Amino acid sequence: MTKITYVDHSGKAREVEAENGATVMETALRNAVPGIEAECGGACACATCHVYVDAGWIDKLPKQEKMEEDMLDFAFDVQPNSRLSCQIKVTSALDGLRVTTPAKQG
Amino acid sequence: MDARDGDHRQGNNMTDIIKTDAVIVGAGPVGLFAVFELGLLDIHAHLIDILPKPGGQCAELYPEKPIYDIPGFPTISGQGIVDNLMKQIEPFHPTFHFNEQVEGLEVLGTPEAPLFRVTTDGGQVFEAKVVIIAAGGGSFQPKRPPVPGIEEYEGKSVFYAVRKMETFRGKRVLLVGGGDSALDWTLNLQPIAERVTLMHRRDDFRAAPHSVNGMRELVAAGKMDLIIGQMTALKGDNGELSAVACKDNANQTFDVACDAMMPFFGLTMKLGPIAHWGLNLHENLLPVDTAKFETNAPGIFAVGDINTYPGKLKLILSGFHEVALAAQKAHRYVYPDKKLLFQYTTSSTNLQKKLGVA
């Protein structure tokens, strides 16, 4: 099992077990992790599953596709480590991944 | 718009009341299929949607994404199913009212003989015997940037749409975003504003290449400004902006002086005016019974993602089932004296005539 830690904007961390093949967004919803809305259900069409990926992890993630980069235009306070969690698929290589959710999704 | 079956307009003026059998709130896949099921029962419908086109979320959020659980279609795109539904309901000549939001729903009739007055933000008034709410996740509204205190400025100096270009004459306007709306309004407002500034988080734009080129030419000619950055706060008094505080990608802060700001961060779904129609609500959804999909108000139905009942699944296929059953009950209200005979489209010449195939 792959473990992922979600940190909310106040600093509270929640570690959950993720199923390989699911997305980081789906894993959050299944485990009732707050801070991710995923209004469009994972179609990369809303930017309400925006997360900041912890330093050290950003280069280990699958590269961002153009659609995700475009959709990040709809998020707020976008940083170089911003990703849409619906576009990150969980694999064993991501064991220990840490992401922070923004104070408010768009 | 001409008068069609069961649809008797008074005059041609937009302010006149449109009298019809059914008003469908929302032109997503379920609202569209409601036209079909109602149409088979000779119930004519007007559809109202806040978007400029049919299809709801399918067309707005995922037109190119495949859907795998529409019975009979191993795979079909969001736009594909909308196009097919539009073709399927063509024989029933529904009337569409796009770019309008239903604001008011007022009960005029009785529970036995319902009649409703439906009003839109565009000033259109309908009188209908039944109302089918197929509003999905609510209406699409522009996203509000999470900047503290922005509400105070909205409608005074922060705008999500251009109602009148004149509002911006002689003003310093900041537009934020990188899509077609942001670029189109940048180009349209540039000639009349005192100064137009476009801000986007990266020097790469989703908008159509010719608008991007047009913008770049204006910047090169010194006729407008382009800033790469993001907004962080608003500065001003009593809703009148004086500047927008921003930061660039190196987190350096700066102010952009402006009198008006237009943020373009896409759309989000909000329940909207439905909350004020006096209907029972459960967690922003409309509870219905599963025999008729009628709300607590006789004659007002709720179908698709907007309704809730034990076992509800937010699937397009569930919505299709729901409208078929709702139409049966709607028939009792629209034609109280007619007996409803259950028929199949495969074998009934009566239904085939309505579909224009017999």
Per-residue pLDDT of B110-129, as tens digits, reads 999 999 999 999 999 999 99
User: Which domain range does residue A32 map to?
Assistant: 2-100
Distance CA B243, CA B63 (A): 38
At B12 the pLDDT is 45
CA distance A79 to chain B (A): 8
Mean pLDDT over residues B270-295, rounded? Answer: 95
Checking if the pLDDT of B10 tops 70, the result is: no
Distance CA A16, CA A30 (A): 10
Residues of chain B with CATH 3.50.50.60: 8-140+268-354, 144-265
Check CB contact under 8 Å for A47 and B230: no
Checking if the pLDDT of B11 tops 90, the result is: no
CA distance A66 to chain B (A): 10
A84 lies in some domain: yes
Question: Residue A106 is nearest to which of B62, B65, B265, comparing CB atoms?
Answer: B265
Question: Residue A104 is nearest to which of B146, B179, B249, comparing CB atoms?
Answer: B146
Question: Residue A43 is nearest to which of B62, B145, B201, comparing CB atoms?
Answer: B62
Question: Residue A45 is nearest to which of B61, B206, B232, comparing CB atoms?
Answer: B61
Check CB contact under 8 Å for A43 and B65: yes
Mutate to test the interface with A, among B51, B141, B244, B268 (most CBs of A within 10 A): B268
A28 lies in some domain: yes
Structure ipTM: 0.89
Per-residue pLDDT of A23-48, as tens digits, reads 999 999 999 999 999 988 888 888 99
**Stretch among B116-120, B265-269, B319-323, B349-353 having the lowest mean pLDDT:** B265-269
Weakly modelled stretches of chain A, pLDDT under 50? none
Per-residue pLDDT of B45-69, as tens digits, reads 999 999 999 999 999 888 988 999 9
Pick B13 or A93 by higher pLDDT: A93
Mutate to test the interface with A, among B51, B77, B79, B143 (most CBs of A within 10 A): B143
Share of chain B above pLDDT 90, in %: 89
Pinpoint the alpha helices (H) of B23-115.
29-40, 56-60, 78-89
Mean pLDDT over residues B125-138, rounded? Answer: 97
At B14 the pLDDT is 53
Q: Are A4 and A13 in contact (CB under 8 A)?
A: no
Checking if the pLDDT of B35 tops 80, the result is: yes
What separation, in Å, do the N-terminal and C-terminal C-alpha atoms of chain A show? 31
Check CB contact under 8 Å for A46 and B266: yes
Checking if the pLDDT of B276 tops 70, the result is: yes
Checking if the pLDDT of B9 tops 80, the result is: no
Distance CA B253, CA B245 (A): 7
DSSP for A14-59, please give it.
EEEEE-TTSBHHHHHHHTT-TT---TTSSSS-S--SEEEEPTTTGG
Q: Are B182 and B174 in contact (CB under 8 A)?
A: no
Q: Which CATH number characterizes residue A73's domain? A: 3.10.20.30
Backbone angles phi, psi at B256, to 5 degrees: -110, 115
Question: Residue A76 is nearest to which of B146, B249, B269, comparing CB atoms?
Answer: B146
Whether the CB of B177 is below 8 Å from some CB of chain A: the reply is: yes
Q: Are B140 and B268 in contact (CB under 8 A)?
A: yes
At B15 the pLDDT is 64
Mean pLDDT over residues B175-196, rounded? Answer: 97
Whether the CB of A65 is below 8 Å from some CB of chain B: the reply is: no
At B8 the pLDDT is 43
Check CB contact under 8 Å for A40 and B57: yes
A88 lies in some domain: yes
Whether the CB of B230 is below 8 Å from some CB of chain A: the reply is: yes
Token readout for A29 is 């919803």
Check CB contact under 8 Å for B230 and A78: yes
**Stretch among A56-65, B10-19, B148-157, B271-280 having the lowest mean pLDDT:** B10-19
Identify all chain B residues contacting A76, using CB atoms and an 8 Å cutoff: 145-146, 230, 265
Checking if the pLDDT of B4 tops 80, the result is: no
Check CB contact under 8 Å for B266 and A70: no
In CATH terms, the superfamily for domain B144-265 is: FAD/NAD(P)-binding domain (3.50.50.60)
Checking if the pLDDT of B190 tops 90, the result is: yes
Check CB contact under 8 Å for A43 and B137: no
Q: Are B261 and B147 in contact (CB under 8 A)?
A: no
* Nearest partner of B120 among B278, B280, B295, B273, judged by Cα: B273
Check CB contact under 8 Å for A103 and B146: yes
Checking if the pLDDT of B304 tops 90, the result is: yes
Looking at the 3D structure of chain A, how many domains does it have?
1
A106 lies in some domain: no
- Bridging pattern class, strands B195-200 and B172-176: parallel
Across all residues in chain B, what is the average pLDDT? 94
At A44 the pLDDT is 86
Tell me which fold the domain B8-140+268-354 belongs to: FAD/NAD(P)-binding domain (3.50.50)
Whether the CB of B62 is below 8 Å from some CB of chain A: the reply is: yes
* Nearest partner of B232 among B162, B148, B175, judged by Cα: B148
